[in-house]
Structure 1
Amino acid sequence: MQEQRKIRTLIVDDSAMVRKILSIGLGQDPEIEIIGTAADANMAMQYLARKKPDVITLDLEMPNMDGLTFLRSFMKTDPIPTVVISSQTQRSAQATVDALAAGAVDVIAKPRMELGGGLGDMMASIAQRVKVAAGAQVRMSAARQPAAQPMRPKPVAPSSLAKVPDWMIAIGASTGGVQALTRVLETLPADCPPVVIVQHMPEGFTASFAKRLNQMGPLRVKEAEDGDVLENGLVLLAPGGPKHMTVIKHMGRHQVRLIDGPEVCFSRPSVDVLFHSVAQVAGGKVSSAILTGMGKDGAEGQLAIRKSGGRTAAQDEASCVVFGMPNAAHQIGAPETLLPLDDVSSWLMNSCARATAGDRLESYKV
């Protein structure tokens, strides 16, 4: 039997210490080969001119050419799966979200020496993410840069938006989800039902992602806070960090509750936790979608939504960066249908229309 070729990985980071930590840590994985390191983007570009890696790990805050500019340069011509290794500063968080929108596959918080005995576990996690990235479908991208103009104000909600919602939308995503969610949300109408989302992302990055989404479409988007009330035209993004996001019903209105709890499917916040809560309180008046991502988070929760009478869909393999989460849901019969990414927003709105139309559209029949 022919031995499987190792995943050739290039490490790009201006910190000699981080390059050493990543080289040693990733190099211990028998499936990964470190084929080079670069201290800045210019050195990395010279390296790419000679040899193409399978995966790049990339720091964004570097001298000379920054990592985001470097990423955009090769994603437009010769895409390479890229894992961003980012510090959790506000400036870095914004650049990281822009990098994910430009085509980076994943984001990982930069390892810290003070982790001590926990550094080994973190490196094992990074190695696993690099291996997932190696199998990701990355495409040439002319990714739009975030709006240079000040954030445009959202219109004051008219009475049609202010009424108590009678439907909600719940979405889960992970690897590749920044691009996918941007595509879905920017095509939903301003008067759509409230949207609750779990996107797997480290603590400190979801606020920047919510801000970016708020700039790009007609919907109001914010990082969710405990007690937020679900409103038409409002998107609530679960904050990365130590809590799960759930939806409860309180005094006739649906609200967000951020709760403590262990990781579910290796994730916190977890799509499963959100979806199970929605299945319990929505009374079947919910449309859900599982988008691109690794693992199986959301599958059981979406099945609960379907059993409760809610509508369910998942992104198809051809349009996913990673088909893990949608496929896991599909394997247990959770989604009614698998959809190309470009059809997800219209399906969500058409499925909501069932509340008044009384039947589902033929084009999306199970």
Structure 2
Amino acid sequence: MSKKIRVLVVDDSSTMRSLIRIGIEKDPRIEVVGEAASANEARDQVRSLAPDVLTLDIEMPGMNGLDFLQRLMRARPTPVVMLSSVTAEGSDAAVKALSLGAVECILKPRLSVGRNPFENLSETLLMASEAQVVHRVGMRGAKRSIPDHHQRWNGKFVMIGASTGGVEALEYILSCLPHDCPPILITQHMPEQFLVNFADRLNRLSKPTVKLAQSGDMPKVGEVLLAPGGAFHLVLTDEPSPKVRLLRAPRRSGHRPSVDEMMLSAKHFAHRTVGVILTGMGYDGAEGIRVLNSNGADCYAQDQASSVVYGMPKMAFEKGGVRNILPLRKIPEAILKACAKV
């Protein structure tokens, strides 16, 4: 058997810590090496135990999970899976945690009789253990040199798909773009409860307007539309001019909203489309961007060195969907160049 993933469980509730331990230690690939009831205890145990992954509660007394996460990422970057409540405050904190470098943030499940609510957490921890968190530190301080001036748009619009690590990557890309950027549609794998807060956060950090997409929206210059998730995929209808539709349909490629569903809907106007696959686990988007590429779209993927998880970009490349693999810092300029009149 290969080496076990060593996990530190951080939660102020002894009941929660016990449930997490019991739930994840059923997996023979995982070992809980310690528990901490506070940020101070967690700091000491990170130093002494050097865990591969942390589970970290957002809502803790004293130094909360967000403050500890920020300090951890500066001092000793370690993969972290945050646990958030289902409240509005919990959702806002979850998005902040992902922006600060948490690999994943999951909702605390309701306790139920006869079933451990954390029995599915092990797969998330195993994925997190492979994340390249070290590459995320310092990214927000990178130089953003794209000028904020009027660009002559060539009529193309942009479709971006992302999953694990996508929050920080999307924040970076949109913060680089001018207020009159080309029309952009984004599908980010995230619970519906988090996407409302994510759209608000992106809108505050970006010069373009960012909002959750609604059926009937038309892609337009200076506006970024984010898939609202929940029961819906974000797609474009094949009309005289592209128009957004929220499609109530089953999961595709394991997800809803699905990157594949979004990109495949643009097949008939692929020549007007720029497709981008960012960091993420799995294969969602690989088929969609392959179809776009084969029908004349400009297609890009984030490179391995700058990806938190090089799953989705790798699959997009291996399926023949992209020829241009770029570090994250070069993607904003590539988007603007592909959408500019010459």
- TM-score normalized by the length of structure 1: 0.86
* Cα displacement (A) at 1:9: 0.5
2: CA distance between counterparts of 1:292 and 1:130? 17
Residue 88 of structure 1 contacts residue 205 of structure 1 at CA under 8 Å; is this kept in 2? no
| SS of residue matched to 2:186 | strand
Partner of 2:286: 299
1: CA distance between counterparts of 2:140 and 2:270? 39
- Number of aligned residues: 334
| SS of residue matched to 1:96 | helix
2: CA distance between counterparts of 1:108 and 1:286? 33
| SS of residue matched to 2:126 | helix
Residue 275 of structure 1 contacts residue 305 of structure 1 at CA under 8 Å; is this kept in 2? yes
- The one-letter amino acid of 2:183's match is P
Partner of 1:347: 334
Partner of 1:279: 267
Residue 270 of structure 2 contacts residue 293 of structure 2 at CA under 8 Å; is this kept in 1? no
1: CA distance between counterparts of 2:303 and 2:336? 18
- The one-letter amino acid of 2:36's match is A
Residue 251 of structure 2 corresponds to residue 263 of structure 1: yes
Structural mapping, 1:6-17, within 5 Å? 6-17=4-15
Partner of 1:208: 197
Residue 33 of structure 2 contacts residue 49 of structure 2 at CA under 8 Å; is this kept in 1? no
Partner of 1:242: 231
Structural mapping, 1:85-164, within 5 Å? 85-114=83-112, 123-124=119-120, 126-139=121-134, 141=137
- The one-letter amino acid of 2:210's match is V
Residue 155 of structure 2 contacts residue 339 of structure 2 at CA under 8 Å; is this kept in 1? no
- The one-letter amino acid of 2:133's match is V
* Cα displacement (A) at 1:222: 0.9
| CA deviation profile, 1:82-112 (whole Å, cap 9, x unmatched) | 1111112111111111111111111111122
- TM-score normalized by the length of structure 2: 0.91
- The one-letter amino acid of 2:132's match is Q
* Cα displacement (A) at 1:74: 1.0
| CA deviation profile, 1:129-169 (whole Å, cap 9, x unmatched) | 11111011012635769xxxxxxxxxxxx9x99x9x82210
* Cα displacement (A) at 1:188: 1.5
2: CA distance between counterparts of 1:344 and 1:181? 10
> Structure 1 vs Structure 2: percent identity of aligned residues?
42
1: CA distance between counterparts of 2:139 and 2:35? 26
* Cα displacement (A) at 1:274: 0.5
The counterpart of 1:45, out of the listed 40, 43, 46, is 43
1: CA distance between counterparts of 2:224 and 2:200? 11
The counterpart of 1:198, out of the listed 187, 206, 230, is 187
Gaps of 5+ in 2: 142-149
Residue 105 of structure 1 contacts residue 176 of structure 1 at CA under 8 Å; is this kept in 2? yes
- Report the more deviating stretch, 297-306 or 92-101: 92-101
The counterpart of 2:214, out of the listed 225, 234, 237, is 225
| CA deviation profile, 1:193-242 (whole Å, cap 9, x unmatched) | 11000111112001111111111121100122222221111011111322
Residue 270 of structure 2 contacts residue 292 of structure 2 at CA under 8 Å; is this kept in 1? no
Gaps of 5+ in 1: 146-157, 358-366
| SS of residue matched to 2:312 | helix
2: CA distance between counterparts of 1:216 and 1:348? 19
* Cα displacement (A) at 1:123: 2.6
Structural mapping, 1:166-205, within 5 Å? 166-205=155-194
Partner of 2:144: none
* Cα displacement (A) at 1:40: 2.2
Partner of 1:22: 20
Cα RMSD, aligned residues only: 2.2
Residue 18 of structure 1 contacts residue 111 of structure 1 at CA under 8 Å; is this kept in 2? no
Residue 203 of structure 2 contacts residue 209 of structure 2 at CA under 8 Å; is this kept in 1? yes
